[in-house]
Amino acid sequence: MKKLLAITAIAAATVGVHAQEFPGSKPISIVVPFSAGGPTDRVARDLAEALRKPLGGISIVIDNVPGAGSSIGAAKVARANPDGYTLLLNHIGMSTIPTLVRNVPFKVETDFEYLGIVNDVPMTLIAKPTMAANNYKELSAWIAANKGKINLGNAGIGSASHLCGLLYQSAMKTEMTAVPYKGTAPAITDLIGGQIDLLCDQTTNTSPQIEAKKVKAYAVTTSKRLTTPLLKNLPTLQEEGLKDFEVTIWHGLYAPKGTPPAIAKKLNDALKVALKDPEFIKKQEGLGAVVASDGRVEPEGHKKFVAAEIAKWSPIIKAAGVYAD
């Protein structure tokens, strides 16, 4: 027993020393469970730059590990050494993994340390440029008149556009033919070309196409209208009669379960500094994102928020019966 207590004491002391030394010279890796060049990847790279200063100038690298509704990258972090040097940046997919992936090898609720929400990205409902409808009222009438013949694109199962599409069909009580692509770029290309009818995607992806008038925009998915000049005249879907319809693509930062509290606190403290960095805020606003500044930047607020999102998305995914594995 004495030997066991001694070993435990040594282990605890070792963890304490490592926590005091963190961050050392070893680079931090932020795993992004999506391909390079996408919106989540861009957020991660901006965040990495903003985190470097409050973490003493440490090198931060991005590790893209896409696949299976973001669960492959998340699993890599769940299995990682809980020393603060391997983190996960995931979007709303963190709340859909428990339902979307039936054989997920980890538990979202218990296998991670929650470090804080980073931002919220609004979404827009857009259509092919040849769509006859000139406003949402006319689009709604077109949808009613074309039931069973509507193609709704998405960037792949588990993507932001897939989730928004599921919620939109549920709210409209209308089934549409889902057309999954390997990323947002090919989905938007086919939308512009008229191969698909509709797409619901993040402002980070849709704003350039709306500004160039390559697509038609009808509504935003936030509870209030946006204030950006390009999108300020678009109504919300709630305004147009879809009660409680709200989708924002939020991003959160996570560490493996068992990360020492002192290290988790250092990471959360650094995150809160990064979220107030004027350059980071400017970059996020340029992507159409709103940097988090509420209680969700605290670990407990982040965790409660994800639990609520899991409860929101689970019945919608189950009703659709489409899974990522």
**Location of structure tokens 């996570």:** 254
Looking at residue 19, its pLDDT comes to 64
At residue 34 the predicted structure's pLDDT band, cuts being 50, 70 and 90, is confident
Looking at residue 67, its pLDDT comes to 86
Looking at residue 39, its pLDDT comes to 83
Tens of pLDDT, residue by residue over 290-304, are: 999 999 999 999 999
For residue 218, pLDDT over 90 is answered with yes
At residue 18 the predicted structure's pLDDT band, cuts being 50, 70 and 90, is low
Looking at residue 108, its pLDDT comes to 97
Q: How far is CA 304 from the centre of its chain?
A: 16
At residue 321 the predicted structure's pLDDT band, cuts being 50, 70 and 90, is confident
The closest alpha carbon to 70, from 160, 204, 179, belongs to 160
The closest alpha carbon to 30, from 69, 67, 58, belongs to 58
The whole-angstrom separation of Cα 42 and Cα 36 is: 8
The whole-angstrom separation of Cα 64 and Cα 143 is: 37
Mean pLDDT, residues 265-281 = 98
Looking at residue 244, its pLDDT comes to 87
Looking at residue 13, its pLDDT comes to 43
Burial, 121: exposed, middle or buried (Cβ in 10 Å; 0-12, 13-18, 19+)? buried
Looking at residue 323, its pLDDT comes to 80
Mean pLDDT, residues 145-156 = 94
Looking at residue 127, its pLDDT comes to 98
The whole-angstrom separation of Cα 87 and Cα 205 is: 25
Q: Which residues contact 237 (CB under 8 A, 6 or more apart)?
A: 125, 136, 168, 171, 219, 220, 221, 245
Is the overall model pTM greater than 0.95, yes or no? no
- Compare 10 and 300 and report the one with higher pLDDT: 300
For residue 43, pLDDT over 90 is answered with yes
Looking at residue 15, its pLDDT comes to 46
Percentage of residues in the chain having pLDDT higher than 90: 75
At residue 1 the predicted structure's pLDDT band, cuts being 50, 70 and 90, is low
At residue 14 the predicted structure's pLDDT band, cuts being 50, 70 and 90, is very low
For residue 216, pLDDT over 90 is answered with yes
Tens of pLDDT, residue by residue over 172-212, are: 999 999 999 988 889 999 999 999 999 999 998 899 999 99
Mean pLDDT, the chain, rounded, equals: 91
At residue 324 the predicted structure's pLDDT band, cuts being 50, 70 and 90, is confident
Mean pLDDT, residues 88-102 = 93
Looking at residue 38, its pLDDT comes to 81
